[in-house]
Amino acid sequence: MQHRSRVAQDPTQPNLRQVHLIHEELFAEVAAAGHEVTPGQLGENVTTRGIDLLALPVGALLRLGGEAVVEVTGLRNPCLQIDAFQSGLLKRVVGRGEDGRLIRKAGVMGVVLAGGEVRPGDPVAVELPAGPHRPLERV
C-alpha cells in the first residue's frame, strides 16, 4: 500500500510501505487503556509476537515462514483514521517520551524482497544488517 498523503507530498518517492507489521504486545498495551484491538484491525498485514519490531534498524530482514522476506524500512506513522476506528486510540499508539520525543508504536513498514506463503503461527526470523545501524524513522 502507498499512503495517499505521502503520494500527494511527492509522487516520485519510492513506496517503502508495502507491508505493515505490528507486534501483538501492542494489543495488550492498548487494552490496559480500555481499547480492544485484535490482529488485522489496525490494517497490519502481519502480526508478530516476541520481536521488538520498533527497536529494529533500517534494513533488518524478517524471514516469514519458509520463503517470504521483508526488509524493514521504517515506522508506521498512524493517522486520524485510527480514532475513527476507536476514539482515543491514536493517543495510545503515538505519544511522547519523558524527553518530549515523539514515539510511534503502531508497527513498522517494509518492502517485499521475496514472496511466499505466510500462515498463522509461522516462525519469523530476524537478520540485522551490517552496522552501523540506523534507527527507524517514519515512512
- Boundaries of every domain in the chain: 4-57+74-109
Tell me how long the chain is: 139
Predicted confidence (pLDDT) at residue 33 exceeds the cutoff of 80? yes
pLDDT of residue 79: 85
The amino acid that residue 90 corresponds to is L
pTM of the complete model: 0.88
What pLDDT, in 10s, does the model give residues 42-87? 999 999 999 999 999 999 999 999 999 999 999 998 888 898 899 9
- Residue 20 CB partners (closer than 8 Å, separation 6+): 1, 43, 44, 45, 46, 76, 107, 108, 109
Cα distance from N-terminal residue to C-terminal residue, the chain:
12
The x, y and z cell numbers of residue 93, run together, are 499508539
Q: Are 105 and 33 in contact (CB under 8 A)?
A: no
> pLDDT band for position 120 (50/70/90)?
very high
Q: In the chain, pLDDT over 90 holds for what percent of residues?
A: 79
Does 24 have pLDDT greater than 80? yes
In this predicted structure, what is the pLDDT of residue 86? 93
